């Protein structure tokens, strides 16, 4: 909990909100609870947060700022034989996004629910820069505006969908060594569910390797003639 007596500021309110969401998830975030965390009445927060909706938009902005910081600290993708720079950079963005999401799993739903929603005061510049970075790389890969829009949605959808699956617990007993028991499939006849072996694989996280493999499959499709990507 934040120390009482400290002067409130927008940065302090947003940081406390993110810390609360990190610990207990989005459902725990309310202005009353956040005020208690900061040692003030809930009404005192509105001068700095505006509203709960504005606070949620601020959390999206903070996540994108962290993404920018991670990208700035990591070296730009080097030349890989046979791999265009635009493609390597999209992989780098994907991995950095994955790392941000795993660092703040409770806030991940905001990225899909509010990322493209423009608040009344205007979409945060850092979010626009993030979108522009991806669109510029797709243009570098030879996509025109229409195809870049399709590719942008596919790229963004894959990233957020992959992370959502990664963070969704596959079972209630992660310490159970038998994956069949862990997934609650002990009483399911195997001959009636021939895809059972796939479910067992899905019980484990795909990790960064799975993310990269999925991105490669997506970018391979975009790069094929007729695949909505560069020919």
Residues 215 and 181 in one domain: yes
pLDDT at 196: 65
- Is 230 among the domain residues? no
Residues 49-85: pLDDT tens digits? 888 888 999 999 999 999 999 999 876 655 667 788 9
| Distance of alpha carbon 52 from alpha carbon 19, whole angstroms | 16
pLDDT at 124: 83
pLDDT at 220: 87
Which residues partner with 80 through β-bridges? 83
The average confidence (pLDDT) of the chain is: 83
Rounded to the nearest 5°, which phi and psi values hold at 227?
Answer: -95, 20
Which domain range does residue 37 map to? 1-50
- Is 66 among the domain residues? yes
| Region for 9 from its dihedrals, namely left if φ exceeds 0, alpha if ψ lies in -120 to 50, beta otherwise | beta
Cα 204–59–150 angle (5° rounding)?
Answer: 65
Element (H, E) at 158: helix 145-167
Q: Which residue has the higher pLDDT, 224 or 166?
A: 166
Estimate to the nearest angstrom the gap between the alpha carbon of 68 and the chain centroid: 13
Q: 229 pLDDT exceeds 50?
A: no
| Distance of alpha carbon 47 from alpha carbon 43, whole angstroms | 8
**Inter-CA distances, 21 with 104, 115, 173, 179, Å:** 8, 17, 24, 30
Residues 129 and 107 in one domain: yes
Domain of 110: which CATH number?
1.10.357.10
136-169 as b/e: b if 16+ CB within 10 A? ebbbebebeeebbeebbebbbebbbebbeebeee
| Distance of alpha carbon 72 from alpha carbon 58, whole angstroms | 21
From the DSSP assignment, how many helices (H) and strands (E) are in the chain? 11, 0
Residues 177 and 210 in one domain: yes
| Distance of alpha carbon 114 from alpha carbon 226, whole angstroms | 32
Residues 128 and 46 in one domain: no
Residues 42 and 57 in one domain: no
pLDDT at 231: 40
Residues 168-223: pLDDT tens digits? 755 556 566 666 666 677 777 767 776 666 666 666 778 999 999 999 999 888 87
Residues 112-150: pLDDT tens digits? 887 655 555 567 889 999 999 999 999 999 999 998 999
Residues 32 and 144 in one domain: no
What's the alpha-carbon Rg for the chain, to the nearest Å? 21
Structural domains of the chain, count = 2
pLDDT at 2: 45
Question: Is the Cβ–Cβ distance between 139 and 148 less than 8 Å?
Answer: yes
Estimate to the nearest angstrom the gap between the alpha carbon of 48 and the chain centroid: 26
Grouping H, G, I as helix, E, B as strand and the rest as coil, residue 4 is: coil
Question: Is the Cβ–Cβ distance between 218 and 156 less than 8 Å?
Answer: no
């Amino acid at each position: 909990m934040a120390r009482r007596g400290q002067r409130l500021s927008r940065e302090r309110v947003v940081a406390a909100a993110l810390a609360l969401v990190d610990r207990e998830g989005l459902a725990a975030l309310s202005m009353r609870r956040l005020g208690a965390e900061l040692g003030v009445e809930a009404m005192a927060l509105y001068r700095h947060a505006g509203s709960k909706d504005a606070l949620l938009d601020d959390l999206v902005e903070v996540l994108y700022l962290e993404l920018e910081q991670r990208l700035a600290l990591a070296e730009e993708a080097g030349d890989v034989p046979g791999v265009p720079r635009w493609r390597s950079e999209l992989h780098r963005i994907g991995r950095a996004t994955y790392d941000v999401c795993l660092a703040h799993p409770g806030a991940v739903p905001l990225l899909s629910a509010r990322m493209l929603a423009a608040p009344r005061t205007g979409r945060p510049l850092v979010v626009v820069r993030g979108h522009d970075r991806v669109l510029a790389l797709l243009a570098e890969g030879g996509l025109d505006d229409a195809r870049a829009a399709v590719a942008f949605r596919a790229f963004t959808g894959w990233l957020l969908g992959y992370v959502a699956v990664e963070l969704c617990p596959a079972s209630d007993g992660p310490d159970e060594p038998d994956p069949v028991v862990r997934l609650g499939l002990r009483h399911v006849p195997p001959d009636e569910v021939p895809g059972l072996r796939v479910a067992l694989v899905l019980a484990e996280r795909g990790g960064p390797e799975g993310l990269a493999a999925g991105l490669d499959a997506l970018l391979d499709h975009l790069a094929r003639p007729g695949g909505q990507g560069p020919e």
